[in-house]
Structure 1
Amino acid sequence: MVRNYDLKIFCHSDSAVTYVTWLDELLIFHKIKEFAEWILKVGNGELCEPNDGEADIPIPKDLLIESEQDPVSDIINYVYPDYIARLYEKNYFEDRAILAPTLETVNLINDRMLNTLPGNERVYLSSDTICQADLNPNISPELYSPDFLNRIKISGLPNHNLTLREGALVMLLRNVDQQQGLCNGTRLQVKRLCEHVIEAIVISGSHVGHITYIPRMKLTSSNKKLPFQFQRRQFPLSVCFAIPINKSQGQSLGRVGLYLPKPVFTHGQLYVALSRVKSRQGLKVLICDQQGHPTNHTTNVVYKEVLQGL
């Protein structure tokens, strides 16, 4: 039998503090394990069985942003609260990102945030030419005017019209200097916009804080849907406050906002997005139905034959 006197002594002892700390750590471990198991079920297509192909799955309520007015602003405010006031705060942007399944949605968010930055703006135009060696001999080069080439937008290539502001987040689209950590997918923050180079600070990878200078480069398209290859001479950068889900692979982030105005459409895409975050507390998902209203269900795409033998 434990007397009140004994209980008071225990509650004020080092043993009590250790016991409470141990319980807290056990609870944290349990929550991490539970979250990891849920993500694995998403990746393996084990939620709402059978899931061999497309399946509609629920997202837990604590992970949802339920927006009725302006979903883009809500997802921005979650991932980047007070970002204008904290624009040059050290490590603020280092492990934050908004993810979306389509370039259309990514560009919408990036344009919104870029236009709010107070820094100087500069527009860089590319020089586009057809690779003559790869041109179909039965097609005249005159059919592809500079205006036509300038309008081409392809994942993995910068746009002809690259608009940047000081303070903007950008992502490298090519390997520039691997020894300096300047690889495809490295994120940087623009410090200064010059005529022939862009000064930026590295905010991801192994060289965080390193100041670098990015030049223009000749970049060749590898898109198989085009009947030709063309070269674009441009800075190998794209704005990356928001990034496509597929471009986020390999990253580990502290705060992730997943915006789904349209469902994911490829195998494992939802799993890739959800597994970028380090903890449950750092993840929020904003899902909209076809009418633009928030919902708690989304599409998960998993083809079981892809997972066989793994």
Structure 2
Amino acid sequence: MRLTIGNNTSETEQTKSFAKWLLDLGEGNIGDTDDLEVTIDIPEDLLIKNSVDPLSSLIDFVYPYLLQLYKNQYYFAERAILAPTNEVIHEINEKLLALFPGEEVEYLSSDSICHTDQAKNPSHANLYSPDVLNGLKISGLPNHRLILKVGVPVMLLHNIDQQNGLCNGTRLRITKLAKRVIEAEIISGGNIGTKTYIPRIT
């Protein structure tokens, strides 16, 4: 995890303190061991105390004033939510997407079975129906159904154009949504502010 230290002295001290706590936690220097169980005191400012809807509280904490600032290219570049599982990420993404104004645009992956495979094994067509295949959610493979709105941040999962900064992990902010192409602005890396077009990829 990288921590950016700003010019503000108070902010710098807070960041250094958090960095030290995080390193100590990772190295196992925090907490008392008792029968292989460890109790760790987490600083109060890192706790989410809303037990009714903790994800909404987390979103409000990480993305304050979202509706006023979501068009600012630096707003999302400085913020991210990390989660332990893809299921949690999908839930956060759905809640966050609902907060954005505008109309949703749905993009679907190709959902037909290759005809050459059907000729070799006709039973595979019944065994692996498009409904089953479209329901799979596998790490590293995009979901069948992608819903976006103008203004939302996205992250590339594959290298598309390394020379122009479109690499795995590059973050972008959607500026236009067309039927077969997405216009976006790069918000991370060396090409911040550059507009780019992402076509439908086979």
Answer whether TM exceeds 0.5 for this pair: yes
Report the alpha carbon displacement of residue 132 of structure 1 after superposing the two structures with TM.
Answer: 9.3
Alpha-carbon spacing, 1:39–1:196, altered in 2? closer, same or farther (3 Å)? same
Q: Which has the higher contact order (CA 8 A, sep 6+)?
A: 1
- One-letter amino acid of the counterpart of residue 138, structure 2: I
Aligned equivalent of 2:79: 96
Aligned equivalent of 2:49: 66
Counting only pairs closer than 5 Å after superposition, residues 17-36 of structure 1 correspond to structure 2 as: 32-36=15-19
Which has the larger share of helix? 2
C-alpha contact (below 8 Å) 1:129/1:149 kept by paired residues: no
2:99 pairs, out of 116, 121, 126, with: 116
- One-letter amino acid of the counterpart of residue 107, structure 2: Y
Count matched residues: 191
Structure 2: distance between partners of 1:115 and 1:30: 36
Report the alpha carbon displacement of residue 158 of structure 1 after superposing the two structures with TM.
Answer: 1.7
Report the alpha carbon displacement of residue 88 of structure 1 after superposing the two structures with TM.
Answer: 0.8
C-alpha contact (below 8 Å) 2:32/2:40 kept by paired residues: no
Report the alpha carbon displacement of residue 33 of structure 1 after superposing the two structures with TM.
Answer: 4.6
Given the alignment of the two structures, is residue 185 of structure 1 paired with residue 169 of structure 2, yes or no? yes
Given the alignment of the two structures, is residue 201 of structure 1 paired with residue 170 of structure 2, yes or no? no
Counting only pairs closer than 5 Å after superposition, residues 1-310 of structure 1 correspond to structure 2 as: 32-50=15-33, 55-128=38-111, 140-142=123-125, 143-218=127-202
Identity of aligned residues (%): 50
SS at match of 2:183: strand
- TM-score norm. by structure 2 comes to 0.81
Mean Cα displacement is larger for which, 36-45 or 176-185?
36-45
Structure of greater Rg: 1
C-alpha contact (below 8 Å) 2:154/2:172 kept by paired residues: yes
- One-letter amino acid of the counterpart of residue 166, structure 1: V
- One-letter amino acid of the counterpart of residue 205, structure 1: G
Structure 1: distance between partners of 2:104 and 2:79: 23
Structure 2: distance between partners of 1:169 and 1:39: 27
Report the alpha carbon displacement of residue 192 of structure 1 after superposing the two structures with TM.
Answer: 0.7
Structure 1: distance between partners of 2:27 and 2:116: 44
- One-letter amino acid of the counterpart of residue 45, structure 1: G
Report the alpha carbon displacement of residue 148 of structure 1 after superposing the two structures with TM.
Answer: 1.3
- TM-score norm. by structure 1 comes to 0.55
Structure 2: distance between partners of 1:132 and 1:46: 58
C-alpha contact (below 8 Å) 2:73/2:173 kept by paired residues: no
C-alpha contact (below 8 Å) 2:113/2:130 kept by paired residues: no
C-alpha contact (below 8 Å) 2:83/2:89 kept by paired residues: yes
Report the alpha carbon displacement of residue 56 of structure 1 after superposing the two structures with TM.
Answer: 4.0
Report the alpha carbon displacement of residue 213 of structure 1 after superposing the two structures with TM.
Answer: 0.5
